[in-house]
Amino acid sequence: MPTSDVSAPPKRFFRRFRRDRRGSAAVEFSLVAVPFFALLFAIIETGMVFFAGQVLETAVQDAGRKIYTHQLQDANLSAAQAKSQFLTDVCGVAGILMNCSASGGVGYVDVDVKYYPAGTAITIADPIDAGGNYDPSGFTFSMPPAGSTGTVVVRGFYQWPLFVTGLGYNIANINRNTSSSKRLLASTMAFHVEP
């Protein structure tokens, strides 16, 4: 009378278990699945961050060209109206990927336009403080006066939300290692205004 598998000697039972290949692909995939999907999502998120950075760069360059060619100054707008028009121009391009319904908050495009008279030292402050927080309090919007030949520095910023940072991949530069970590996208353009 043959013995059952349960009553078989343990050596023979483990030998049979080792030879059985049913389900091995599922087990192997379960071991590889978590790192595979973490890597896949990290690659997708990094690609989106670089793509969004390029979109912001293009938007700021296109809007800054209106200052460079005097189109914004010659429209006889107040400083608030000029800033609103500038943001409208930036959001016309960047609004595809970024929230452009308002300015001055998390998830919105912030701009910093500064005019430096000829011969003045240009100082650009980092909007990320020592604690890793985003601080746009030093941003201004100062248009070059008519007939000026100074330098204008135009900067645009957007706080891009990150989702894969919890899986060990972190490209955040704002609030790093917190639940609200973000990547600050930045675009800078500097030029002498056309006479």
pLDDT bracket for residue 16 (50, 70, 90) = low
- What are 83-100's pLDDT values in tens digits? 888 988 988 888 888 887
Predicted confidence at residue 31, as pLDDT, reads: 87
SS3 74: helix
Which tens digit of pLDDT belongs to each residue from 149-173?
889 999 999 999 888 776 677 888 8
| pLDDT for position 162 | 86
Mean pLDDT of 36-62: 92
Q: How far apart are CA 185 and CA 162, in angstroms?
A: 12
Within the chain, strands assigned E span 110-116, 151-161, 182-192
118-116-89 Cα angle (round to 5) = 125
Beta-carbon count within 10 A of 132 CB: 14
Sign of CA dihedral 64, 66, 69, 71: negative
Is 44 a residue whose pLDDT tops 60? yes
Q: Which residues contact 74 (CB under 8 A, 6 or more apart)?
A: none
pLDDT at residue 7, as a whole number: 57
In the predicted structure, residue 14 carries a pLDDT above the cut 70:
no
| pLDDT at residue 52 is higher than 80 | yes
**pLDDT score of 91:** 87
Q: How many residues does the chain have?
A: 195
pLDDT at 13 over 70: no
